[in-house]
Structure 1
Amino acid sequence: MTDDSRFILDPATADLHGDNERLREAGPLVPVTAEGVRAWAATDYATLMTVLTHPDMSRELHHWADRHTLPPGTAIDRIVTDTSMLNAEGERHRRLRMPLTAAFSQRRLNGLRPRIEELTARLIDRLAELPADAPVDLRLEFAYPLPREVISELIGIPAAHQDDLHRLSDAIAQVGGLEDSPALRRELRELLDEIIEERRGTPGEDLITDLFELHEKDGGRLSEDELFATIELLFIAGHVTTVNLITNAIRVLLSEPDQLELLRSGRCPYSAAVEETLRWDSPIAYFPMRYAVRDVEIDGVRLRGGEPVLACFASAGRDPGQYEQADVFDITRPQVTHLAFGHGPHFCLGAPLARLEGEIALRALFGAFPAMKPVALPDELPPLDTLLGNSTRTMPVILGPRAR
């Protein structure tokens, strides 16, 4: 804590959950500095729920009184200036979100399941071809390519562009050798714009086609800028957080053999491991911003109109005021709610898809490699260098022989 009693949030912290414990001890709403931005942090479950649903809290940037002080090129800058449904409210949010609901419907997911299983099986076969006694990075070789391939197909990314697009999204997911940067983000946007223009004349069974049809037949329901921003959001948000979910689940299950045995024996479903991972080790650490539309009091703290609030999702998942033995990973705990996908009108559209991918991936991986073991202890793995994501840059394991 600095002299002005503000916590400095370190994007590269090696102890995210320790940082969050100290934040919760400081109160439900804590003054912080994140990437040079002064904000409040909603640290516990109940407070975060209030911030996510309060009618006097908004995601619309114009409510932020000090938005002119935002340092350019940061993770916060990329999120809060996004022009898609991410930062829309009210009727505009409903207008932008409505066209996407069918894409993530249960019917569409049921149709996707066989394809997700096929892609997973292909990745397992590729892993089985590697030396059984040599380290392999499961974040790079398994947790990342599965959701990337799924979202590419769902959106309708042409095969000719997938290598270039994947090279750029590698950096966003923090795999491979490229580093995320403003220049890389511009290159990604230019490539997505090129893909969208090419797809105008080649309709298919995918999201880009669905959005084009809406844009053209419904009196411009989506403007050109909104169309591009929506597709960019879906591609990035549609796979990066799922990479973290699968990586985090692999990491904790390999360090908790009793929990893993409950899954392998069939006494607990793999869906329980997905939900407990989402609670205990949220794929998102902190997410910007909600702004006070007017002066408002939340949990005894007076927010002035225009002040920003950071959502602490990973902290809320380990709030001892909400969960018994909150720090313990336990897939047998009674079903509990969590906020890993948000809440209210901005609840993550892709939550059912992420859950499905996580369940399929974990069942296939741990069924295929019963002798798999980690190369390093969980706290020895390098963390992501980002304020937003919560995971590790690598997940090295020794696979061992494939099950017969």
Structure 2
Amino acid sequence: MALPFLAEAGSTPRIFNFASGPGVMPAAVLAQAQRELFDWNGSGLSMLELPFTGEDFKSVMWRAQDSLRALLAVPDNYRILFMHGGASAQFSLLPLNLLGGAERADYLETGYWSRRAVTEARRYCAVNIAASTGGTDFDRMPVQEELHLDPGAAYCHYTSNETANGVQFHRVPDSGAVPLVADMTSDFLSRPLDIARYGMIYASSQKNIGPAGFTVVIVREDLLGRAHPATPTLFDYRMQAEAGSLLNTPVTFAIYLAGLVFQWLAERGGVAAMECRSLARSAQLYRAIDASVGFYRCPVQPAHRSRMNVCFMLADSALTPLFLSGAARHGLVNLKGHSMLGGVRASLYNAMPDEGVSALTAFMRKFAEEHAHHV
């Protein structure tokens, strides 16, 4: 059986990067960055060299923030911050900034990364596990009726998409009067959002935003100014908001690339168009899994499957290394599952070409045909 993504015998296959992060970048963005690397906007300087206090970089920063605000229709009473570090840093900075005088916070425990957030939050406050699906190995997200919320909590935190477990919320939890906070690292910009339902959203950059190195924080203005006195100035949301995310040298090149990604998204129909593509690509891959008659198995309940990170197992786990090495030879790289969970994981971020999913499903069918006797 010929695989459609191979040009001819002996040729080098096109590379499709299914890494969970840093993830695939839009080819058009990389090409523009390459063209501008030595001379940005006729300045004679690389973006890597522009002073962050100069008007040139400030214009890049403001344009990126404005583009993001337009993409998500962010209301005027929310501030967009570009902060150092990944989402894991926000696991600490969130309670430091939002607890105020409260001592408790609600957390939904739905997989590997929300559990990490819970562990860190417990260093700063009493954590109420408002819901957990750990009893079924995180094979689904909790429904609204399962939430046991604390009305005295400073905020309610959830992870919208669990990268390691392959589960995703397809609705927004209702936290009542308690500010809702979401770690949207792995599905940010993949679908429209009603920002007004949230007190704060954060997402590290290495999935759908751009290269690793910073985190986008979108926070409602009334939640600023609550930071614990011991919070470092650089990590105080209010201080960063007042300084326009320029309290110290930001990750200038990463922000520049993120701005190019935001423009790329807008030119292709924005987040609504990304959602349509995400639905189609993930459905194609899940159909291939479900049609394999048990050769491949997704442990996640269908209604809770992630559109961003498709996790599955082979019926004979001994075949997994062979599957991964064979896929890599055909240009399908970085498919290994999370180190704690194993199996296979295909991350379908916005920049993943549709051809990449077609190539993967074709390889999966061929591999299953060749190894059907193992099932």
| TM-score (norm. length: structure 2) | 0.26
Structure with the larger strand share: 2
- The structure showing larger relative contact order (alpha-carbon pairs under 8 Å, at least 6 residues apart) is 1
Structure with the larger helix share: 1
| TM-score (norm. length: structure 1) | 0.25
